Each structure stands twice: as C-alpha cells, then as structure tokens.
Structure 1
Amino acid sequence: MFERDWDVLVLLDTCRPDVAEEVSGGYPFVPSDVPSITSVGSTSWEWLNRTFSEAPNDVVERTAYVCANNFSQQFGDEFEPDPASFGLLDEVWRYGWDDDLGVVPPETVTDRAVDVRRNGEFDRLIVHYMQPHIPYRSLDVGDRADADERGAAQRSVWDLLQMGDLSRADAWDAYRDNLRWVLDDGVAPLLENIDADRVVLSSDHGEAFGEWNLYGHYRHVPAAALREVPWIVTSATDSGQLEPEVEPEEIHLTDDTINERLTALGYQ
C-alpha cells in the first residue's frame, strides 16, 4: 500500500469489488466499473502484518491510522511496528464500540478521522472502517455468537449459510446493506469534511460466500473472493459542516472484553 499514490486510504473491511459495483448508482464517488488490486492478505491480521511490517519506519512515522479493527492490538506484539512508531495510532475500537451493534459504527470512525485530518500534520491518513464486515445490521442470525442458557454458541451467518438455513441471496443482501451503511454514514461525510487530492477506497481483504466452498475469510488463502479488493480513486473537499465530537479515551480493556468483541466480529 505504501508504494502506491494516495493521501488518504479508506479501508472498508471485507469489501469486494463486485459488491461495490452493485451499489455504485447511489454514490457518485463509486464507479460502475470498479478497479481492483490483489491484497497482500486474506484476513485483517495478515494484511496488517504484511503491510506495516514491511513499511519503512520514516513512512510509518508520518502516517496517522484511525482504526476500528481490533487486530491493531497486535502491533508491537505479534508483528511490527510498535504502536509508538506511528505518527498517530487512534484505536477507535477501544473507546468507540457500540455494545448494541456489536461493532464500532461508521460515523464514530469518521468523526475521529475528520478531527485527525484537520488538526494533525501527517503525510498520510488511513481510515479503517469495520463495515461491510459482520455483524450485518439487517440480520439477527447470531452474528455475535452469544451463548444461550446451555452455554452453546449461537450459529453464525456462515454456519447458517453452510447448513442451508440462510440463503446466499439473503446473506449477500445483508452484506450489501452493510456496505451502504458505511458509505452513507462513514465515507460520504468523510469526503465532504476533509481536504485531500487523492483519496483511495479499498479494503484489507474480501469475503467468501461459498466460492471454493469457503465462507467468511481465513488466513493465507489465495482465492480471488478473499484477495481481490477495490481500488477506487477519488478526492475530498472540506465543507466544514461536521464538527467532531468524539474524544479519544484511555480505556483499559480486559482480555475477556477483547475476546467478546472478537467474537462479535466472528473471530472466536
């Protein structure tokens, strides 16, 4: 990613080029024929590891990363760099999590990204939204894998798909709706409230809906459904309309809380 030309990189977690094309008619910044690139990973963990571990230190030092993905906790632990190496590492998932939604809502990420872009002095900004990743706001099918009274985890959307209890069409509709959610409440207001000559909309990886008998996403899988991601180039002009209100907080999260949030995202 750092070898490519961009001022602001917007990551829409799990977004595939084909689903972006399906919603293109509603968004002037999404073309009907979406360009794509091959991601360096098929999961967020893999993308983060390969992207930042290989980035030059002086580049990372001039980069701000506003992140809703919990796997940023692995910086300095499972992979480089150390969190202090960034110009700014704003882990929105630590303080902006919505327990009712089971995820960080896109407007919270945008609020922080606008504040960082306006007031920070960084060469580059990465804005990492969790949508269209599960949980799907239009489905109540156990995305969050909450335990019932017997202690058994509810089946995830991927379990339901494989067992035939949820159709691919219904799952895809929910996935596409999550993309509209982040475009409406996240990306559109972001592009109207920052200044940037070159904004790229992309993703860390894709999502499988039965291709090669794959459901969801997994590490080290070279399937196109998981590795091909959008590369949409646009620009942004700050209207000044959005007044950021979200303040970052120093919150200590227990391992149990972090694991609960990973479960909500289908990782446990």
Structure 2
Amino acid sequence: MLKQKNLIKKREWDYLFVLDACRFDYFQRTFDDYLDEGNLSKVISPATHTTIWCKKIFGGRRKNDDIVYVSGNPYINSKVPIGKLDARGYFYKLVDVWDSGWNEEKNTVFPQEVIKGVKKAMIKYPGKRIIAHFMQPHAPYLTLDNTTSGSKPEFNIDNQTDNNFFYFLRRKMRNFAAKVIRLIGQRKTWRLREELGIMEPSGPIYEVLNQHGEKELKRAYQKNLETVLEGISGLIENLSGKIIITSDHGELLGEGNNYGHYINGTENELFHVPWLEIKK
C-alpha cells in the first residue's frame, strides 16, 4: 500500500482536497454517486490527528512556496502555533476559512465556505497549487440538531507560551487516555472517566452515541460525507488540471468498541484513507 506522504510530495497535482476524518471504506462506496471519473486507491496516512499529519507531511526546512492552503480546520491557521505545529511557515499563504466562514449554529465550517475560499484563492494567487481542507465528514453532524456547546476557537496571540504549555499537558493526558482505550475500549474508558469525575467526555460523537446509538452515528457520518462530496463535485466542474481527493486520517465507528480518532491510535481504520486522482 502506498504512503500518502510520498504521493503528496511528488508534486504531481494542482488541487488537493482534504476531507477531515474520512474513512476509505465509506469513501469507496460513496464517491461515484457524486463524481463520474477518477482512479481510487487506498493509501496510508502518516498520522491519526490533523496537527501531526500536517507537520509530518509539510514540515521541514523548505517552505512550500507554491502552495496556498485554504483551511476550514482551526488547527491549521495563520494566527498562532497549535502546540508543536506552526503552519504559518509551511505555505505561501494560509487562508483562514475556519475563521471567516464559521457557522455558530453547527460549530463547524460548511463545505460551501471552503469552496468560496478556493475560488477566491484561484483568482488572488494564480499559478499556485491549492490545498482545500474541508471539515466533513468529521463531526459535528450537519443532519442532526446541534447539542454540543461551543463556539469558534479564539486564539490568544499574546500568550503563545501558555498555549504550548497547556497543549503539552493535554497531549500527555491524551497519550495516557489512548493507552487505556487500547486496553479496555473507548466506551468503557468514557464510563470510567464519568464515574471518577475526571476528564468528562463530551463532544458530538459521544452525544450522538448516548442519544441515538451507533446506527445513527454511522448514518450521520455518511450524510456528512455525502454533503462534502456533493459540494466538491460542483467545484470540480470548473477546474482544470490534476485533482486529488484524500483525507488527513480516518475515523473509528465502533471498531473495538472505539469511536472517533485519537493521537497514537493503531487501528487500520485510522490510517487507511482514500486517494482519488482526477485529471481534467
């Protein structure tokens, strides 16, 4: 199986569309309902979290001066580093669609906002390759009522040291939690955390599981995928060149009684992502 990093580094593409947390198997059985061409392969992502994925693929001494990154994901931003990731030095330009296009009701960025960012970038930065990072099929789920409290991330630009310190602590806690998850499964880990009253689990995946069950979670994930593919299909009609659709990492939807994704995950469903090549 080919490594995603090597394929991206070959520089044989004009547009790279990243679908956040997109599993290969769901993509495989869905994409041709929206895209009438393309060669699909299963590839291996280098990471199970966006920040680590971005750093492993695009970090290094040489800046990617030919790439404009249209980001619907707050982790990849032009404002501040997130932990050990400082994407500001990676690309010619970072376009913060996650900031300008944030939907307060759903607490995410809709595909159309990223598509608007791509169209503007094409005009403003002619001759540059474009990466567009879509938040879907990652939760929150667009077809469900939003029950998760939250808002657009606010970064404290004047306090980056504290941001890095707390990121370090959170990462240590996540690493420990990942070890427990591998031993007893995610649902049992959540129950244990609730009973102990520490690190109380929250978020759209946990809430959907509690309120609707695993079947509805899978359906909502599928609908998110369909929504982003529908948006991309319309965008591609107006593009020329080589287009790639892929993902930063996968998602667990019940495998080993685990859900979502986490740093240091080992499951194949977290690493196996789509690589669809389209030539226009």
TM-score (norm 2): 0.71
**Per-residue deviation, residues 33-80 of structure 1 (Å, max 9, x unmatched):** 8421110110112212212223x524x111110000010148645335
Matched residues in 1 for 2:87 and 2:146: separation?
Answer: 37
Decide which moves more: 68-77 or 89-98: 68-77
The runs of 5 or more residues in structure 1 that have no matched partner are: 148-152, 237-268
Query: Which one of 17, 34, 51 corresponds to residue 10 of structure 1?
Result: 17
Partner of 2:105, secondary structure, is coil
* Alpha carbons of structure 1 residues 160 and 225: separation in structure 2 relative to 1, 3 Å: same
Query: Which one of 102, 116, 122 corresponds to residue 121 of structure 2?
Result: 116
- Percentage of matched positions with identical amino acids: 27
Matched residues in 1 for 2:127 and 2:85: separation?
Answer: 20
**Per-residue deviation, residues 102-137 of structure 1 (Å, max 9, x unmatched):** 111111111110221244134421110001111101
> After superposition, where does 1:189-200 map in structure 2 within 5 Å?
189-195=234-240, 197-200=241-244
* Alpha carbons of structure 1 residues 83 and 154: separation in structure 2 relative to 1, 3 Å: closer
What value does the CA root-mean-square deviation take over the aligned residues?
A: 2.7
Which residue matches 1:88? 93
Matched residues in 1 for 2:214 and 2:143: separation?
Answer: 14
Matched residues in 2 for 1:212 and 1:154: separation?
Answer: 18
Q: 1:173 and 2:219 equivalent?
A: yes
Matched residues in 1 for 2:149 and 2:103: separation?
Answer: 16
Partner of 1:128, secondary structure, is strand
**Per-residue deviation, residues 195-254 of structure 1 (Å, max 9, x unmatched):** 2x2111000011101212321110121211111110000134xxxxxxxxxxxxxxxxxx
* Alpha carbons of structure 1 residues 90 and 179: separation in structure 2 relative to 1, 3 Å: same
Query: Which one of 39, 50, 54 corresponds to residue 44 of structure 1?
Result: 50
Flag the structure with higher helix content: 2
Partner of 1:42, secondary structure, is coil
Decide which moves more: 217-226 or 165-174: 165-174
Q: 1:64 and 2:71 equivalent?
A: no
* Alpha carbons of structure 1 residues 155 and 228: separation in structure 2 relative to 1, 3 Å: same
In the TM superposition, residue 81 of structure 1 has moved relative to its aligned partner by: 5.0
* Alpha carbons of structure 1 residues 228 and 30: separation in structure 2 relative to 1, 3 Å: farther
TM-score (norm 1): 0.74
Which residue matches 2:258? 214
Matched residues in 2 for 1:40 and 1:219: separation?
Answer: 12
* Alpha carbons of structure 1 residues 26 and 51: separation in structure 2 relative to 1, 3 Å: same
Equivalent AA in structure 2 for residue 3 of structure 1:
K
Matched residues in 2 for 1:172 and 1:30: separation?
Answer: 26
The answer to whether the 8 A contact 2:75-2:82 is kept is: no
Which residue matches 1:204? 248
